[in-house]
Amino acid sequence: APTQARVKVYIIDEVHMLSSGAFNALLKTLEEPPAHVVFILATTEPHKIPATIISRTQRFDFRRITPEDIVKRMRFILDDKQITYDDAALKVIAKAAEGGMRDALSILDQVLSFGDNHVTTEDALDVTGGVTTAVLGKYLAAVLAKDHAQALKMIEDLLASGKDAGRLIEDLIEYLRDLLVNQQAPTLLGDLEKSLLDDQFKILSENFKPEQIYHMIDVLNSTQQQLRMTNHPEIYLEVATVRLSETTTPQVTAAPTQAENPQFEKLTAKVKQLSDQLKRVEANGGTIPPPTRTRKHVKAKANHVNRKAIYPILGAATKQDLTNLKDVWPNLLGLLSITKRAMMKVSEPVAASPNGVIVSFDYDIYVERAMNDAALMTELESGLQKLTGKQPKIVLVQSDVWPTIRQDYIQELKAPENKEQKADTKPQIPPVVSKLTELFGKDAPNVTIKND
């Protein structure tokens, strides 16, 4: 029973963590609660609480505090303490708090410890690990202009200054979200978001297409998932930067109407004819041969590969050499410059020998760029020499033609064996022919011996 107050309040935090036995014991108390006791069950996962408990309680869902209310509260506290501040700094703190007043005040205390009774935007960004909208806009402008060097340099500078890679991606996604909302429904942007935007934002909003923003958010979201499983976030950020810069947005055109296209009826008739033929083939139990265009295309690309350089490497290649190379491959990428490292991130070693290495790339464009980049090849060779003590020859191929090259090499290895077997196989001479040859001789006149 309470000694001073009218009731005694018991708060059970994270109540969903209770065991089944504990819930059963609590249920008995909730069925016949004392008049002077109030239980508050707090949880972030109400679906894990048994239905028997939920049916005997009242549910109140707490909502996040709006950034505007958080800013208003921090202004009240700072004015009361006679501490000066930048409005932009309070907005950065409110955004980082994500609806939690306690988190906002904790961040504010940390920012105050940086300055001399003045809350600055720079200190707020340093504490929260955030990036200014001006920097984000400059980065996306470089991406839009396909300026790889500028965008990668900005990533390097941001990470070198101590910015968190995960937080940087979150800021980029939010910035792109604001771009999209500003394009489609500008009235939905809150006062807080509008106050943090600048002229660069307006320029990007006019130049970016919605399809580009959709793709960028997908790339950044995928990169965000990958960052959770790596100790080298800078590599994934660099690759994401290149992917964002080099992606071309497909042009969306309106379908021609019948009036605009005089061949519409002819094409419709052709489609109907092909459809009827397909039905007849299926009715007769026939099958339609699979398309071979892709295979022919891959075969054509494989014919342009430098096999004279690849086959010697395959001839001396061992599984142990490839394993050793894969072990040092991340370290080799770390020795490259930023732009070279981003290019090599879409590659992997597929074969290795003491004197040669074969590296496959996911895309044709990277194979061509790498082969024409003498500086990259020099960095790779010197890096391998530093890590392995060897300087093997490096050959580049595309990943989709690599299986074809390897299969062709195996076929060529088998070819000499087949030729030897054919050469060793001689036609058998029947015994009758051999006997006649002994009696009359091989060159006897008026006698012809045929081995039919």
Structure tokens at 134: 């001006």
334 within 8 A of 383, measured Cβ to Cβ:
no
Q: Which of 1-5, 171-175, 217-221, 340-344 is predicted least confidently?
A: 1-5
pLDDT at residue 451 above 60? no
pLDDT in the model for residue 33 = 83
CA distance 421 to 432: 27
pLDDT at residue 50 above 60? yes
CA distance 347 to 349: 7
Q: How far is CA 361 from CA 233, 262, 345, 381, 425, in A?
A: 21, 45, 9, 17, 45
Each residue's pLDDT tens digit, 366-414: 788 888 888 888 888 888 888 888 888 888 888 888 888 888 888 887 7
CA distance 330 to 328: 6
pLDDT in the model for residue 302 = 47
Higher pLDDT, 377 or 451: 377
The contacts of residue 11 (CB under 8 Å, 6+ apart) are 40, 42
Structural domains of the chain, ranges and CATH numbers in brackets = 8-54 (no CATH), 67-128 (1.10.8.60), 133-246 (1.20.272.10), 300-407 (3.30.300.180)
Q: Are strands 84-85 and 393-398 parallel, antiparallel or unpaired?
A: unpaired
The contacts of residue 371 (CB under 8 Å, 6+ apart) are 377, 396
A 10 A CB-CB count for 34 gives 10
- 8-state DSSP, 6: S
* Residues in a beta bridge with 8: 37
The amino acid sitting at 83 is I
40: confidence class by pLDDT, cuts 50, 70, 90: very high
Structure tokens at 325: 């190379």
pLDDT in the model for residue 248 = 44
Each residue's pLDDT tens digit, 293-346: 444 444 444 445 677 888 888 888 888 888 888 888 888 888 887 777 777 877
Each residue's pLDDT tens digit, 250-309: 443 344 444 445 555 666 665 666 666 555 555 555 444 444 444 444 444 444 567 788
131 within 8 A of 162, measured Cβ to Cβ:
no
